[in-house]
Amino acid sequence: MALNILIIEPDNEWRDKVCSYLAGSSYATDCAFTGKMAQLKIYKTKFFAVIIDWETKDHSVIEVLKYINVNSPSSKVILTIKTPKVFDEIGIEKEMLTKIGVTDIITKPFTQDQLMRSIEGELQFSMWKNASKKKRDYSEEGTSIRARDDEFTRVKITEFLSGNKSVFDLFVRVSPNHYIKLLHAGDSFEPETIKKYRSEKNVEYLYFRTQDRGLYVRYMNKLLEKVMSMKSVSTTQKVSLIKNMTEKYVEEIYTNGIQPHLIEDGKDICKHIDSLIHEDPKLSNVIKQLQDFDPNAYSHAFLVVFFSSLICNKLSWATRGTLEKVTMGAMLHDIGKLKLSKTLSLLDTKDMSEEQLKEYKQHPQLGVDMLADMPSVKEPIKQIVFQHHETADGGGFPRGITGIKIYPLAQIVGLVDLCAVIMKRKKVKPVEAFTEMMRDEKNLQRFDQNLFVAFAQIFTTLEMPKGDKV
């Protein structure tokens, strides 16, 4: 689904011009002539961005901005003006406009490039613009670059689908802090190029600049909109793409903090997972392959997201709306760990001192505090973040509540979180971690028995190769 942009422009000529600027882009446009009409559209539809002219009447610009700030706080708001002097004439400060949600101000007449730069941001605009350039000649070796390893993010080469364009430069790592540019922004992932580097040069990963990670998440979201309906792409490959994108999404949050636009990206990821689960409830043998993951917080988040969604799908009372809440809550469940001391992130809870464990147990509350000022994150998601470590026997935290007092969706995420921890500790496959968890009678008292049944059904409905037993 394309991202929506609302154009609020009383001048017919300029309204048509802005629409023509966005024609052929990845955005879907809608128009409003008055502020009142705009508020009605914002009430009914989620907009990625709103372009509003200062001369808007019948509910002024300020009234519409305040409405957006309350009802659609994650939307980018671009204010168009005839002259910067307009602010001096009425005695209004630009800082005040920023406080009520304006993200950029552009002066008429503006060009298509200026508008796209305002919508995308400087970096993303340049990346998407470069993607339209014609293909370069790669008969010669790429450019050699010396840079720190932490300036790059890796992605398995198998995650790139042939024929799709890259929206940023891609590199091959030849040694520590040494990279070779393989693809430029705008070039396609040609089958022969991928085959050459995989087979002849044994390249397992491609790398892009870490500063482009947010762009990568959005790029993958757009790619998956097309891929999810393609029968030529296997379920295994779809899961792999979602896994990689989810990990990079969580990594972006952990690195740069949670931002409104990342919440919207997360909702799109939830929709892809929902689509995948309902397309193929058995998911073939994909789950058996999930032991191939990096033991870090980002891979842990994907495992919790993926299995929480599968369990939810097995519960008779769960709706698709429930599934989206579980998926989003699972992605954000450990967000509070960002506020903990860095040393804790390197420790297993079983290796923590009493003082460290006390600090660690604060992360659910810290997570809710971080989400408090984000109206787009609904209360069910916040409760998952807050209660995912509560257990039915009262031995959980932060409040030690029991039984039916625990939010059911938080119990789902908590159960899978424990399973993912066992996978990491024991270095075992999901089904083995689940079996290990079931052997501990204390765990059977900590969670709703129906959740264990639903979890078991995930494995018992798999199409297993001969000789494998669950």
Residue 138 has pLDDT above 60, yes or no: no
> What is the rounded distance in angstroms from the CA atom of residue 386 to the CA atom of residue 372?
12
Residue 135 has pLDDT above 70, yes or no: no
Please name every residue paired with 31 in a beta bridge, in sequence order, or none if there are none: 7
Per the confidence metrics, is the pTM higher than 0.85?
no
pLDDT digits (tens, 9 = 90+) for 415-460: 999 999 998 888 888 888 999 999 999 999 999 999 999 999 887 7
Residue 168 has pLDDT above 60, yes or no: yes
pLDDT at 379: 93
pLDDT digits (tens, 9 = 90+) for 286-321: 555 544 444 466 678 888 998 998 899 889 898 878
CATH for 3-120 is 3.40.50.2300
> What is the rounded distance in angstroms from the CA atom of residue 77 to the CA atom of residue 105?
9
Confidence of residue 283 (pLDDT cuts 50, 70, 90): low
The class that CATH gives domain 228-460 is: mainly alpha
pLDDT at 128: 45
Confidence of residue 142 (pLDDT cuts 50, 70, 90): low
> What is the rounded distance in angstroms from the CA atom of residue 218 to the CA atom of residue 234?
22
CB 335, CB 297: distance < 8 Å: no
Instruction: Decide: residue 448, CB within 10 A, 0-12 exposed, 13-18 middle, 19+ buried.
Output: middle
Question: Over pLDDT 90: what percentage of the chain?
Answer: 27
∠179-184-187 over CA atoms, to 5°?
A: 135
> What is the rounded distance in angstroms from the CA atom of residue 269 to the CA atom of residue 278?
14
Please name every residue paired with 50 in a beta bridge, in sequence order, or none if there are none: 6, 77
> What is the rounded distance in angstroms from the CA atom of residue 452 to the CA atom of residue 365?
27
The residue ranges of every structural domain in the chain are 3-120, 132-210, 228-460
Question: Over pLDDT 70: what percentage of the chain?
Answer: 84
* DSSP assignment letter at 137: P
pLDDT digits (tens, 9 = 90+) for 11-51: 998 999 898 888 766 678 999 999 999 999 999 888 888 99
* DSSP assignment letter at 188: B
SS (H, E, C) 28-73: EEEEECCHHHHHHHHHHCCCCEEEEECCCCCCCHHHHHHHHHHHCC
CB 440, CB 422: distance < 8 Å: no
- Cβ neighbours for 68, distance < 8 A, ≥ 6 positions apart: 42, 50, 75, 77, 101
Work out the mean pLDDT of the chain and round it to a whole number: 81
pLDDT digits (tens, 9 = 90+) for 42-80: 998 888 889 999 999 999 899 999 899 888 887 889 999
Residues in the chain: 470
